[in-house]
Amino acid sequence: MTELRVGIDTRPGWTVLVVRGKILFDTHEPLSRALKEAMAGHQPKIVVDLHEVTVCDSSGLQLLVDAYRQVTAAGGAFRLARARSLVRRVLDITNLTTILVVHDSVDAAVSASPGSGSEREPGDRRPGGPSI
Amino acid sequence: MSEASSDSAWAWRTATTELLARTRFITPSRLPAAVAEAAGKAGTTTRMYLGDHEQRRLRPFPAVGDPFRIDASPAGMAFRTTSPEREGGWLWYPLLDGTERLGVLRLEAAAADRSDAAVRAEVDRFVALVGHLIAVMSAYGDAFERIRRSEPMSAAAELVWQMLPPLTYGADNFVISAILQPVYTMGGDAFDYGVFDSTLHLGIFDSTGHHLRAGLTTAVTLSATRAVRRAGGGLMAQARAADEALASEFGDSRFTTAVLATIDLASGAVRYVNAGHPPPLVLRKNEIVATLDGGRRLPLGLGGIAAAEEPAEVRLETGDRLLAYSDGVIEALARDGAPFGIDRLTELAARHAADGLPAPETLRRMNHDVLAQYDGPPADDATLLLVEWAGDAVGRLAP
């Protein structure tokens, strides 16, 4: 599958993943890999730029939630930027915007204060799950 | 009552007794023969047809001869309207398990005079028993399933189908009906319902991922919510149980979007929790009068952050319909944005409701309209669930 490409950009202290294409259950591997690499460091700070993403299915959402939880648990920061209407809509309908805050620009994502919603812990801790 | 009429009614009564006696210790494959032998007491041959799971064809059981198209045949007409249909010397009778449509039974019209009330009542009773026998015997073998499947089912679809309640149920003053696609390969979508006293409990579910992985997630969610419901637990407790079950069973962030709801069948009061699912609609005539977008929380499996403390409420009026759907429906109806998809969905619901059809037939047609939007197989599971409250909905299901 070549429907998804991920470019890597940086801001001081931050990794910016610039995603292009469709994030679907059978295409999301490049994003999964890029997230894994970006999360490898100490207290990772990651922005996922969704401007060129046309569709994100539930597998894609799961991938973003997973990354958010792992990064948050490691004391880092995980933010989204520039989601377009369809992607924005699935984030809204699923209520995931309550944890995955979407910023208007990469710069806004990087400079947002930690309290602006995106570094909260999802409610229940997972017994036996990954270290969160 | 004429002597001939009384004789015929009596013969049908004998046939019903005979059917009970003949089916006590037989395998499902022998049901059609037993029905034919019993109906012979009333002077008619019989031929049994079962609807396929995509609800497009009626297939002969035993599998000899051609199937009929539900959309374009007198046999199909009987299935669509759940009313007997005359075709020359034949009478096509809908086969129902209570209110769930299973197929049709062909009788000889001369032996089943429906203009005679006494005969009609006895024939109705005989055919109702055939429907119940199919439902009961389905638990014991694959004879019916083999006829009803037009292609093999995936393991995921097998898992999900066996968890679902019957597609249609109606009693007293309500009817609930649902339809799911793609029938043979679905995985993550499901629905549930159950009545206790005067409360109708219902749920619609859509899990992340595809195929067996999604099916397993849905299985855990549905089992967790159902177990709590059956123990008397409320909506919030059901949602919490799903959170806990998914978190303890799987190590990743998989989730299920869902709406869990109760309808008080006496007052029409609806209480619901919306866990990240496309909001169901309340339809009054052709208008959307409410959208179930309150009671919001994260999808099941992701815990209770930003969860509503209490279920949200909305009240149905007599004749209102509650329409729930999964995102696969909207994606099919609108490749280019949400509002259009919901408009199309509402328009379809209104158009088919205007025909005064039984709820399952409204959904069958809506479902086929949705599927017609795809060039190939559906890209995602698509579920429609319709509740009709306090009108003559149940009356439309009777033969």
What pLDDT digit, counting tens, does each position of B357-387 carry?
Answer: 888 998 999 888 888 877 666 778 899 999 9
Nearest CA in chain B to A67: B253
| pLDDT band per the 50, 70, 90 thresholds, residue A46 | very high
**Whether A92 contacts chain B with CB within 8 A:** no
Q: Which among B180, B190, B179 has a CA at the least distance from the CA of B362?
A: B179
> Under an 8 A CB cutoff, do A62 and B304 touch?
no
Structure confidence by residue, pLDDT tens digits, A92-114:
999 999 999 999 999 999 998 77
Do A80 and A103 contact (CB within 8 A), yes or no? yes
| pLDDT band per the 50, 70, 90 thresholds, residue A129 | very low
* CA–CA gap between residue B105 and residue B336 (Å, rounded): 44
All residues of chain B having their beta carbon less than 8 Å from the beta carbon of residue A99 are 298, 302, 305-306
All residues of chain B having their beta carbon less than 8 Å from the beta carbon of residue A120 are 305
Structure confidence by residue, pLDDT tens digits, B53-78:
999 999 999 999 999 999 999 999 99
User: How distant, in Å, are the alpha carbons of B44, B183, B369, B383 from that of B378?
Assistant: 43, 10, 12, 12
Report ipTM for this prediction: 0.85
| pLDDT band per the 50, 70, 90 thresholds, residue A127 | very low
> Under an 8 A CB cutoff, do A98 and B254 touch?
no
| pLDDT band per the 50, 70, 90 thresholds, residue B2 | low
Instruction: For chain A, give every domain's residue range.
Output: 4-109
Superfamily of domain A4-109, CATH level 4: STAS domain (3.30.750.24)
pLDDT of residue B60: 98
- Domains annotated on chain B, with CATH: 3-146 (3.30.450.40), 151-397 (3.60.40.10)
pLDDT of residue B333: 75
Structure confidence by residue, pLDDT tens digits, B126-143:
999 999 999 999 988 899
Which stretches of chain B sit within 8 Å of chain A by CB? Answer: 188, 206-210, 243-244, 247-248, 250-255, 257, 274-279, 296-299, 302-307, 327, 337-338, 380
> What per-residue string of b and e applies to B110-136 under the rule 16 or more CB within 10 Å gives b?
ebbbeebebbbebbbebbbbbbebbbe
> Under an 8 A CB cutoff, do B306 and A95 touch?
yes
* CA–CA gap between residue B38 and residue B25 (Å, rounded): 15
Structure confidence by residue, pLDDT tens digits, B324-360:
999 888 877 765 555 568 888 888 888 887 777 888 9
What three-state secondary structure class fits B32? Answer: helix
The number of beta carbons lying within 10 Å of the beta carbon of residue B72 is 8
Mean residue pLDDT across chain B: 91
Q: Which of A65, A86, A90 sits opposite B302 (nearest CB)?
A: A65
Least confident of A53-67, B274-288, B344-358: B344-358
pLDDT of residue A128: 34
pLDDT of residue A123: 43
All residues of chain A having their beta carbon less than 8 Å from the beta carbon of residue B255 are 58, 61-62, 65
Nearest CA in chain B to A127: B248
* CA–CA gap between residue B98 and residue B47 (Å, rounded): 20
All residues of chain B having their beta carbon less than 8 Å from the beta carbon of residue A59 are 208-210
pLDDT of residue A8: 95
Cβ-based neighbours of A59, under 8 Å, separated by 6 or more: A23, A24, A25, A28, B208, B209, B210
pLDDT of residue A124: 38
pLDDT of residue A115: 57
Do B155 and B212 contact (CB within 8 A), yes or no? yes
**Whether A126 contacts chain B with CB within 8 A:** yes
DSSP of B73-118, one letter per residue? SHHHHHHHHTS-EEETTEEEEEEEETTEEEEEEEEEGGGS-TTSHH
Structure confidence by residue, pLDDT tens digits, B181-203:
899 999 899 999 999 999 999 99
Omega prior to A122 cis, within 30 of 0: no
Widest distance between CA atoms in chain A: 38
What are the backbone angles phi and psi of residue B356, rounded to the nearest 5°?
A: 65, 30
> Under an 8 A CB cutoff, do B276 and A95 touch?
yes
pLDDT of residue B45: 98
Residue B146 pLDDT exceeds 50: yes
Bridge partners of B68, per DSSP, are B58
| Top-confidence residue, B6 or B232 | B232
Which one-letter amino acid corresponds to residue B126?
Answer: F
* CA–CA gap between residue A98 and residue A101 (Å, rounded): 7
Q: Give the residue-averaged pLDDT of B98-115.
A: 94
Pairing verdict, β A45-56 and A14-23 = parallel
pLDDT of residue B331: 78
| pLDDT band per the 50, 70, 90 thresholds, residue B291 | very high
